Chains A and B, each alone.
Chain A
């Protein structure tokens, strides 16, 4: 349970599902919105991760 990517994926999934249910009324657009949001969360995390890779810690 300590994998950062696994926890990020679970977090992104749950937040996407809740936001999609809040923003859309019919199930079809809820699924589409949740999918887009989830993919965007993951893509953003990966891109930001690589951008921060050269930074010293």
Chain B
């Protein structure tokens, strides 16, 4: 009985609508999808670590890059920044992340922001795998 219940739960989790929801949740709020899927410890780690990286990146005067297709590296950095979802949106709306090029920590800040976004992309894949029942 317990076996069939677990199988039904896996099937329910692997439905396309649920998978899309999980991926969007993982993108929007780092760690939230893992918390929703019952992976509390992982969810808290992602929530704290990725938010900290984003905040440190902003504190170090890093820039949240805007799309500029004339400069391919800037466009790639912008794609990486978007990986962080709601924090990225809030920072853009609040005018944070303008970046101060003359600051000694400018490039460090960029590294923190870009890597936080890219790591959250890996977190999205992990949440997808969990929802598919692969993990």
Contact = CB atoms under 8 A, between A and B. Distances in A.
A46 interface: no
Main secondary structure, interface of A, reads helix
Main secondary structure of the interface of B (DSSP, over half): helix
Nearest to B42: A21
A18 B56 contact: no
B99 to A, nearest CB: 16
A1 interface: yes
14 contacts: A11-B53, A11-B108, A11-B111, A11-B112, A14-B49, A14-B53, A15-B119, A17-B45, A18-B45, A18-B50, A21-B41, A21-B45, A21-B46, A22-B123
Given A1-B105, A21-B46, 11 more contacts: A1-B59, A10-B56, A11-B108, A11-B111, A11-B115, A17-B45, A18-B45, A21-B45, A22-B126, A25-B135, A27-B41
